[in-house]
Structure 1
Amino acid sequence: MRRVEHVMGFPVSLRVDDEGFDDTVADALFAWLREADARFSPFREDSEVSRLDRGELPPARTGPDLTEVLDLCERYRTATGGAFDVRLPGRRLDPCAVVKGWSVQRGAELLEAAGARRFCLNAGGDVVAAGGPWRVGVRHPGHAGRLCAVVHLTDGAVATSARYERGDHIVDGRTGRPATGLLSLTVVAPTLTEADAVATAGFALGRDGPEWAAARPGCEVFAVTADRRVLRTPGFPTP
C-alpha cells in the first residue's frame, strides 16, 4: 500500500509492504496527523498551543499530550543550555520542532499496533521505518539534486535539520540570532521523536551541535559545517 497526503505543511508518504494491510489504518494515521496539526500548530489561532500562549488555556488544564510535548521541549532546552528554546522573546510559543517528530512517531506506533511489520513513513524528508532494510537519502546542503549520504535503516528513524529549505529559521535561544554554524545535521535514532528533536536542538547549538547530538544515547550523526567539513560518527549507518 502506498499513500501520500499533505499534512502540517509538507507531504507525508506512507508505504506498507505487508500483504493485505487494512487501508482503514492509513485513514486513522492521517486523521491523527491532521488532529495533531489542529491541536498543536502555533499558526492556528484556535489550537491548544495558541490558546495556551495567549493565556486562554490555563497551564493546569493542558491535556496529557500537550503536557508531554512541552515537557520534551523543556528537556531539550535544559540539555542545550537554552540554545533550543520554543519560547523565544517576542515570538509566539512554537513547539513545532518537537511536535513533528513526536506526532509522526505516534503514527508509526499506530501502524505497528495494527500489525504493520514492514513500512516506511516519510514526513517531509524525516523518516521512521520498520522491517528494513530501507535506504534513505540525505540531501546535499549545497546541491538540491544531489545526495551527501545514504542511510541504511532497518528499524528506527532519521531526521535532518538544515538551512537549505527555509533559510536561517533555527534560532539559537542563547543569543536570539539564527544558528549558522552548520549547513545540515542529520540524526539517526530509535524513534523520530528523538531524531527530529535532537537534530533541531543540535543545529541550534551550532558548531558544538554534532558533538552534543552524538553524545545522546542511541544517536548517530552526520553533519556538514558552515565551512563545508563533514563530520560523521563511526556508527552512522551507511550501506
Structure 2
Amino acid sequence: MNNKILIRFILMCLSICIQACGTTVEVPMYPDEYDVKAEKLPYSILVIYAPEFEQNTYKTSQLASTWSYPLSRTTKNLINNSLETYFETVGSASSEDADRSGYDVVVFPVIEQFEAEVPSTIFSPTKTKIILSYEYLTSYASNNESVRSVGTNEISGGVGKLAYDDMSEKIKSLSAYSSGVFIGAPKYEYLAARDGVVAIAQAAYNLSKDLASQLSHDNLLQPTVNTSAE
C-alpha cells in the first residue's frame, strides 16, 4: 500500500475520536416530511406520548467523546408525519387524561429499543437499530391491540431512500465537514444523524402503514349494530 494512502487511512481512523474529543455532541437528527404516496383512511387518530417517551435520549461514547441522540424529538416528528400520511386526522397529547372524544383510535407509541454502534472509521456507517410499537385502542373495542416495527440504517424501502437523500443534502448545505488535517471529511455526528433518521423513518412509516392495514382489514372501527326489532 502506498505510504501516503496508509497515512491518510490511519488519520481517518482516528478522526472519529478527535473530532469531538472530550465533549458531548448532539447528533443533529432533523427529518423533513417525506412525500410517501398512500390512500388516507377516514379515521381520526389521537397520539398520546407518555412522559417516559418525551424524555427518551440515547448516548454512546468512545474514549472521551460522547454523542447524544435526541430520540424523543426525532421519533415524535416522524411518527406524527407518518400517521398523517395514512390517516385523515391526527392529533397529539402528552397526558393520558387528554380528551379522547371525537377520535376513532387512541395510539400510545413506545420506543422499545434503540442502539447505534460507533464505527471504527468515519467511512463506515453507524449500525443503527430501533424497535417501535403502537399500543392502540379503538372507540368500539374494550381491549388494547398492538403493532410493532423494526428499523435499521440499511435502506429497505422508499422512505428510507427519501430520508437518506434528505439528510445527505443537509450535510452538504450545512458544510458539515472537518478542517485541518481532516479537511473534506464529514463530521461523524452528521453521518450518524443520517443513519439514525433512516432507521427511525423506516420504523415509523412501516408501523403506521401496518396500523392502517390492520384497522382496514379487521374492520376494528365498525360499531356493533343491534338488528333486533324495536
TM-score (norm 1): 0.30
Rg larger for: 2
TM-score (norm 2): 0.30
